[in-house]
Chains A and B, each alone.
Chain A
Amino acid sequence: MAKGVKPRVKVPKTAAAGDVITIKTLISHKMESGVRKDGDGNVIPRSIINRFVADFNGQNVIDVTLEPAISTNPYFQFDAVVPEAGEFKFTWYDDDGSVYETSKKIKIA
């Protein structure tokens, strides 16, 4: 498992129904591309986050495929419409099979 992986998300705590809100996500990850070589000339194996998914109350909001050219600590910012109170769930899939999850609740004001 890649070391020091920590997801961070920023979602407003409240929104009006039907509002478009901005969500920011960042996961600290080294995103080793798989084309670099170490001091002895051996290829350092690829180790990246290959997929990022955000869901709201079970409904998919965004589903992203990541490629090796994406640099360290991938950051995503996107907009979402909030029809009702509920919970955003964010999931990152690592090459090594690890899955990192975090979630944020949002209220209707």
Chain B
Amino acid sequence: MEFKTLLTSVAIIAFSAGVVSAQEDAILAIEGEVISTSAKAPAFADNLDTVYSGWLFRKNETRSLQTDDFDNPAFVFVDQGIDLFEKVDGTEGKACASCHEDVEDFAGLRPTMPRVEGGTLVTMENLVNECRTERMGAEPWKYSGGQMTSVTALIGLQSRGMSVNVAVDGDAAPFFDRGKDLYYQRVGQLDMACSNCHEDNYGTMIRADHLSQGNINGFPTYRLKNAKLNSAHARFKGCMSNIRATPFKEGGDEFKALELYLAARGNGLSVETPSVRN
């Protein structure tokens, strides 16, 4: 009996090791446009040769949802984002569209986020809320709330297919270093770092989950798990809860630094916003 169990577990290990290699040659074509799902790893990522999009780690059913904008459930929320973009709010009587006439003007912004402005690291969410409070005289949106993710998905969509190219030197260097420290810092009751799953063990199964490299080129992402758009920070929070750590605050300095580091690890991957994951 014990021998039989052993055999089964050997088979499972052999199977899961084979999964990632079988997936490397899959091609992602969204609305007929092919976008790259792997790239040469940046020089600072010492333990990786190639970076892979999370799309490659999902099952065929989930993958195919992302290939058609009608089937992609995230577009229900992108549509809401379009309405919000045009909706007047706040004391100044302005909508996003009052200044940013055409949302397509945002093409090229998503691949460079987060970035340093005047000594502070800002994310897409920060930019949206800055516009709301400074220029529209409106209440800021909740960092990972439905309105925020709808609009950040709409803005990110304009850059779909472009290569992620986040700056890591100059002003960004201290934030990048902090993000890197956080990535390799073991935390929580399970005493795990991001790297333990997403660098050392990507491609294998952690119970029912197929571990990806944790690249964030597809965020905000629609998750089948909760049927809504999820911000990168909300996902970090989920990861931290899973390893029984106390999550940092969404929109806080720690998560922003981690977002910069993770985005930079995926430099060269295509923006997939809004992606579909499980």
Binding site for B on A (CB under 8 A): 4, 6, 8, 10, 24, 26, 28, 72-73
Interface status of B13 (Cβ within 8 A of chain A): no
Give the nearest-CB partner of A10 in chain B: B70
Contact B70 A8 (CB under 8 A): yes
Contact B79 A24 (CB under 8 A): no
A to B CB contacts below 8 Å, 8 in the list: A6-B79, A8-B76, A8-B79, A10-B70, A24-B70, A26-B76, A72-B227, A73-B73
Interface status of B80 (Cβ within 8 A of chain A): yes
Interface status of B71 (Cβ within 8 A of chain A): yes
How far in angstroms is the closest Cβ of chain B from A102?
13
Binding site for A on B (CB under 8 A): 70-71, 73, 75-76, 79-80, 227
List, in ascending order, chain A residues with CB within 8 A of B70's CB.
8, 10, 24, 26
CA–CA, A10 and B75, complex, Å: 13
Contact B76 A28 (CB under 8 A): yes
The 8 A-B pairs with the shortest beta carbon distances in the complex, nearest first, are A10-B70, A28-B76, A24-B70, A6-B79, A73-B76, A4-B80, A8-B70, A26-B76
CA–CA, A90 and B146, complex, Å: 28
CA–CA, A24 and B75, complex, Å: 14
List, in ascending order, chain B residues with CB within 8 A of A72's CB.
227
CA–CA, A8 and B73, complex, Å: 12
List, in ascending order, chain B residues with CB within 8 A of A73's CB.
73, 76
CA–CA, A6 and B76, complex, Å: 9
Give the nearest-CB partner of B227 in chain A: A72
CA–CA, A42 and B63, complex, Å: 40
Known: A8-B70, A10-B70, A73-B73. A28 touches B227 (CB 8 A): no
CA–CA, A4 and B79, complex, Å: 10
Give the nearest-CB partner of B71 in chain A: A24
Give the nearest-CB partner of A73 in chain B: B76
How far in angstroms is the closest Cβ of chain B from A22?
11
Give the nearest-CB partner of B76 in chain A: A28
How far in angstroms is the closest Cβ of chain A from B163?
29
